[in-house]
Amino acid sequence: MNIHARLEELGIDLPEAAAPVASYVPVVVAGGFAHVSGQLPFIDGKLVTGKLGIHHDTDSGMKAARACGLMILAQLKEAGLLDKVERVVKLGVFVNCALDFTKQPKVANGASDLMVEVFGDKGRHARAAVGVPALPLDAVVEVDAVIAIKDA
């Protein structure tokens, strides 16, 4: 499958890959895997901030998680790896939420469903969905990834 044709077929335009906000690199390839640093949700060029269960509902959280997934794909593209994805291995989803918010798995589906939509069965992955009291820049969601890469 040509990933660029698949994205076009789905009507997905990847955002510009975000620059790191601290001392790290967006993608490291080691041992046949691309480790993608945590990506924040930008929708229409604006960072989505606040807490789920206070400032945003679950559906908004899912959209934010999908935006993080799009940024993961953008980082892979920027690193010249998008065509080399063999399998999405694992996503880590961190949800900035109220203490009584318990729908982290549903929020994480925003990123998970995107990976399956784009890569088919190669997009099915292991996952963690964790509620946290704060995220960098007050982002509502952050998602990192481990991706198996061909010929790495």
Per-residue pLDDT tens digits for 84-120: 999 999 999 999 999 999 999 999 999 999 999 999 9
The mean pLDDT value of the chain amounts to 96
Q: Is the pLDDT of residue 152 over 90?
A: no
- 45-84: b or e for each residue (b if 16 or more CB lie within 10 Å)? eebbbbbbbeebebebbbbbbbbbbbbbbbbbbebebbeb
Q: What is the CATH number of the domain that holds 110?
A: 3.30.1330.40
Q: Is the pLDDT of residue 1 over 80?
A: no
Predicted structure pTM score: 0.97
Please count the structural domains in the chain.
1
SS3 category, 98: coil
Q: 95 near 106, Cβ under 8 Å?
A: no
Q: Is the pLDDT of residue 47 over 70?
A: yes
Residue 59: which domain range?
3-149
